[in-house]
Amino acid sequence: MDRALGAPADFFYDVELRRPLGFRLRNHSGRGAALIEVRYDDWRPVGEVRLPFAMTITQREDVYRYRLSTIDTSWVPAAGFEPS
């Protein structure tokens, strides 16, 4: 693993909605995009929690959009969604 890819990272959080908005990584390796940004969107309830069903990843002029159709959380213990 190239540790230079994720140092430092900025995290974006919506305090009012109490959920992460995304994060930005600075790539110091000299390979690929120098800045990589990930944004979450389309939050929907899944069981007792809300999860993002859309993600946008931006690397320079390249933009990748992912959209989920279903999410299964049955394999995650409920404690995995509780703040520690």
Q: Summarize pLDDT for 45-62 with one digit per residue, the tens.
A: 888 788 999 999 998 889
Count of Cβ atoms closer than 10 Å to residue 29 Cβ: 12
Is residue 19 a contact partner of residue 29, using CB atoms and an 8 Å limit? no
DSSP of 45-73, one letter per residue? EETTEEEEEEEEEEETTEEEEEE-S----
Domains of the chain by residue range: 3-70
In the chain, the amino acid numbered 70 is: T
What's residue 1's pLDDT?
Answer: 44
Instruction: Enter the pTM of the model.
Output: 0.73
**3: which strand partners?**
none
Looking at the predicted structure, is the pLDDT value of residue 28 above 60? yes
Distance CA 63, CA 61 (A): 6
Q: What is the radius of gyration, based on Cα positions, of the chain?
A: 15
